[in-house]
Structure 1
């Protein structure tokens, strides 16, 4: 094939540059793409005051009867829950109507308090009823003084809380309040009656108990699936976000050996419910979860990637890669440095007389 001189001269050079840059980019990609790793190897999954811990959940794992968070309160100690916008469940509205409180169907602020005294315990159960594709529960610690406090808020889901107190004759009766204490119910009898509260997406519930008694409280994430297994919550994503700064720590559930081929950041979609949240701890200064499982993980914006050292630890692989890259560099160098072809002189057709 008779190619133009420009193509003959610069075509091989362009090919050499392209191949060399492609090889360099391949190495960059291989050492910068997130890979699935053990999420428990990351820093402590704890949100301090001023931060928020968000647990992203798969819609198919949720339902009104499937708890994502449960609290069995400390014996004889205060537990209170406050809502900025909520409505009571149907059964609770019937119970309130029987007590003469007929107008309780509207969405409004409310509160529930189980007072200290005796050996009675309060129980709080939280479940999510998904209404969107990416339901999540956010826990924001807001404790102060001698109070441990966490704000619960749901995304793409209604939050359903079930509140109950096992009463003790020595304890004051638990109370249920309407907006601005427009009405008040004191619950008496063996266990009073359970209260169901539905909180719309984006609205919040505040769970509060004394800091000194937090150690005697029993928190659980998720539900027990078998007698020989602990309660656990299967999550698709997990992150700790700092106000006005973004995510300090994040994880996206993934299968063993998975690589995020399309991004150098932790993906925010397509995450699998492979993260197992097995415990929750609440204190005045923050809220923490114990988590294990596999996923893409990033700390302070740095994703966990396949380290180059892990690739080159094998002497044979290291020698092969080094030789291949050296050979490629030499080949590219020869093509770039070869002399430009000189144009052939035109034949002299002049006639000598």
Structure 2
């Protein structure tokens, strides 16, 4: 006669305690997430160079102002051709051509800058292009570089475009004193201008317009056949390169996506964890140094530095709090 009341009282006490038990369970799960999900920033140099296959796009966001964005110079025996979907002569270039008595069109049009082919022409020496913002105080929001496969083992190709602001592309060749040295043909729409190598040309490329660089590497045997693009200033020095806030490498079949959001050394990723998983970088999260892009006919190698929160193969890299506690109890 006493078992039934005791049993019901025990059940009533258990029912009164279950909210506390559920709360403790949620606290335990939250603690586990807090200790294992947030990650610290990663030193990008420890990851090593990033490989981009033909067809993959490299995106850099949050570009620093007042610097060269990308620059490239060919070596002896190399060739460089550029083709723009839309471009126009910069005002200072049009004025210079007018003073030389060279009529030039105004307005945006398809454009190309290619080597003039003629018999007994010498090697092209240090043909060069440099990419900057038209307004250094208002750089593009994003610079996109798509690696393309070369038509031959001695050719590399790259596609570039900018979002949010136009680009200024400076083109030039040195004067060698050789009357048979190659000249460049600048085509603007239906107009063709044959220019001496010493005359620098500046083109303004509208935002979103695509342009392509085709680089032919020397025929002479070399250990490696590469074209090395540099970013920013003093790219070869420690700390050099182009400062950006985010870097992405699109995934294609057979490769993995990569995303890096700039952060200071040892920075903990907390509220931005879900944004990183979705590929959304926090604004003003720090800087990444993009230094060079070593291009081959079958792909490219991107060299970067700095610290960042990194997402690779769908997983966030970097130590969690438990790993840091085990390493430094």
1:222 paired with 2:227, answer no
Measured on the aligned residues, the alpha-carbon RMSD in Å equals: 3.2
Which residue, 10, 26, 30 being the options, matches 1:25? Answer: 30
Once the 2 structures are TM-superposed, how far is the Cα of residue 264 of structure 1 from its aligned partner? 3.6
Q: Is the 8 A contact 1:135 1:156 kept in 2?
A: yes
- Equivalent runs, 1:314-325 vs 2, <5 Å: none
The structure whose residues are more often helix, as a share, is 1
- The CA distance in 2 between the partners of 1:131 and 1:245, in whole Å, is 39
Comparing 305-314 with 8-17, which one deviates more in the overlay?
Answer: 305-314
- The CA distance in 2 between the partners of 1:31 and 1:193, in whole Å, is 59
- The CA distance in 1 between the partners of 2:327 and 2:230, in whole Å, is 44
Pair 138,48 (structure 1): closer, same or farther in 2 beyond 3 Å: same
Which residue in 2 is equivalent to 1:184?
192
Once the 2 structures are TM-superposed, how far is the Cα of residue 195 of structure 1 from its aligned partner? 0.7
TM-score, normalised with respect to structure 2: 0.80
Structure with max Cα Rg: 1
Deviations 1:304-340 (A, max 9, x none): 143476256369x6xxxxxxxxxxxxxxxxxxxxxxx
1:251 paired with 2:256, answer no
- How many pairs are equivalent? 303
Q: Is the 8 A contact 2:65 2:139 kept in 1?
A: no
1:78 paired with 2:87, answer no
Which residue in 2 is equivalent to 1:280?
293
Q: Is the 8 A contact 1:141 1:285 kept in 2?
A: no
Deviations 1:100-157 (A, max 9, x none): 6645221111011245733632111011347879712111011322220100111222
1:62 paired with 2:65, answer yes
Which residue, 275, 278, 302 being the options, matches 1:289? Answer: 302
Pair 120,308 (structure 1): closer, same or farther in 2 beyond 3 Å: closer
Deviations 1:36-60 (A, max 9, x none): 11123336422211211111234xx
Give the gaps of 5 or more residues in structure 1. Answer: 318-353
- The CA distance in 1 between the partners of 2:293 and 2:150, in whole Å, is 19
Which residue in 2 is equivalent to 1:112?
113
Which residue in 1 is equivalent to 2:4?
none
Q: Is the 8 A contact 1:139 1:287 kept in 2?
A: no
Pair 284,177 (structure 1): closer, same or farther in 2 beyond 3 Å: same
- Give the secondary structure class of the aligned counterpart of 2:69: strand
Once the 2 structures are TM-superposed, how far is the Cα of residue 209 of structure 1 from its aligned partner? 0.9
Once the 2 structures are TM-superposed, how far is the Cα of residue 218 of structure 1 from its aligned partner? 5.0
Comparing 44-53 with 165-174, which one deviates more in the overlay?
Answer: 165-174
Once the 2 structures are TM-superposed, how far is the Cα of residue 71 of structure 1 from its aligned partner? 0.7
- The CA distance in 1 between the partners of 2:35 and 2:140, in whole Å, is 30
Give the gaps of 5 or more residues in structure 2. Answer: 1-8
Q: Is the 8 A contact 1:159 1:201 kept in 2?
A: yes
Once the 2 structures are TM-superposed, how far is the Cα of residue 163 of structure 1 from its aligned partner? 0.3
- Give the secondary structure class of the aligned counterpart of 1:81: strand
Pair 245,197 (structure 1): closer, same or farther in 2 beyond 3 Å: farther
Which residue in 2 is equivalent to 1:345?
none
1:92 paired with 2:105, answer no
- Give the secondary structure class of the aligned counterpart of 1:112: strand
Which residue, 162, 171, 180 being the options, matches 1:163? Answer: 171
Which residue, 169, 173, 195 being the options, matches 2:183? Answer: 173
Once the 2 structures are TM-superposed, how far is the Cα of residue 293 of structure 1 from its aligned partner? 1.4
- The CA distance in 2 between the partners of 1:228 and 1:299, in whole Å, is 27
Once the 2 structures are TM-superposed, how far is the Cα of residue 166 of structure 1 from its aligned partner? 0.9
- Equivalent runs, 1:26-41 vs 2, <5 Å: 26-41=31-46
TM-score, normalised with respect to structure 1: 0.75
Deviations 1:177-208 (A, max 9, x none): 112xx1111112xx431111111111112111
